[in-house]
A and B are shown apart, each in its own frame.
Chain A
């Protein structure tokens, strides 16, 4: 699976959009981009994933650049409860299940 690079920490004002970047310059054409987050003392929570197209769900939007070498997770209206470590993970497209390889993630702190 391709390696990802994320900033170690970011702050965001409550009510504003949080834009979390991720670089995955070695991604191959059949690898998915996944985002998870982990709130203190809880297990990782699935947010969203995509292959080539931008994706949106009730939690967030995922914007993948045309060359697929980077992506951005957007939380449209951040709340204090969105404070967590956010992990960007690239996962090979395989017919068999594959484990997730977590990096260090981005600590997002939402400020009141």
Chain B
């Protein structure tokens, strides 16, 4: 389909390992968002890109979290030296343009489990 695609769907890693999560937004969408969703809670904002520019990273919980979108399309969220509290579902969303009248469309997320 033409929706937001995230991979892998599930990721299990040992504490201390680095992980990389991929997001393919809807083609042509300028804005891209990453969210983190803990079990039983609503998604929480991590970071936002407009094209290749990272305009807001205020939600990243620590400097172990790093996101990039080098060509303004695919984005990768990297977590270094993972810890158990990083276990969550990581959601990616994209919207056609900037502006709050543009709905965000979400992928089904990557479920990350840190052992």
Question: Digit string of B94-115 for contact with A (CB within 8 Å is 1, else 0)?
Answer: 0101111111111111000000
Q: How far is the CB of B103 from chain A (nearest CB, A)?
A: 4
Give the interface centre of B31, B42, B59, B95 by most chain A CB atoms within 10 Å: B42
Say yes or no: A43 contacts B42, CB within 8 Å: no
Interface assignment of B18: CB less than 8 Å from any CB of chain A: no
User: With a CB–CB cut-off of 8 A, which chain A residues contact B45?
Assistant: 99-101
Q: Quick one: given A32-B101, A43-B107, are A97 and B95 in contact (CB under 8 Å)?
A: yes
* 8 A Cβ contacts from A54-112 to B: 87, 91-105
Q: Which chain B residue lies CB-closest to A1?
A: B100
Contact of A43 among B56, B103, B106 (CB under 8 A): B106
Contact of B98 among A49, A51, A96 (CB under 8 A): A96
Further 4 A-B residue pairs, CB within 8 A, beyond A43-B93, A97-B55: A43-B107, A44-B43, A97-B95, A97-B102
Interface of A toward B, CB cutoff 8 Å: 32, 34, 41-46, 49, 51, 87, 91-105
